[in-house]
Homo-oligomer: A and B are copies of this chain.
Amino acid sequence: MSEEAETVYVGSKPILTYVLAVINAFQRADKVKVLARGRAISSAVDVVEVARRSFIENLKIENIEIGTETVGEGDQARNVSTIAITLSKEK
């Protein structure tokens, strides 16, 4: 099992798509990082909450970070908020 965290990017697909991706990622690594930006931040929290409550009994939220990224260039550049939720499993 990899020491490095697997990453799951949350977008606009159904929540369960990403819950499944998190479950699969835990087959390959001890830590899984759930990332999202903009409107998908709410979905990322949904993904973690559904995974924790209904699918992965010993899921542990290690860390939550928020930040800002610049998207686009020149006149089109705008800031979007980001979230990174790092998950592990309680032994």
Q: How many copies does the complex hold?
A: 2
Q: Kindly identify which residue among B48, B53, B61, B81 contacts A45, using a CB–CB cutoff of 8 Å.
A: B81
**A16 CB within 8 Å of chain B:** no
Q: Which residues of A contact B (CB under 8 A)?
A: 38-42, 45-46, 48-49, 53, 61, 64-68, 79, 81-83, 85
Measured CB to CB, the closest approach of chain B to A86, in angstroms, equals: 11
On chain B, the residues within 8 Å of A38 by CB distance are 42
| A40 surroundings in chain B (CB, below 8 A) | 42
Contacts of A48 in B (CB 8 A): 66
Q: Which of chain B's residues has its CB closest to A61's CB? A: B66
Q: Which residues of B contact A41 (CB under 8 A)?
A: 41-42, 45
Q: Which residues of B contact A65 (CB under 8 A)?
A: 64
Smallest CB separation, A33 vs chain B (Å): 15
* Chain B residues whose C-beta falls within 8 Å of the C-beta of A67 in the assembled complex: 49
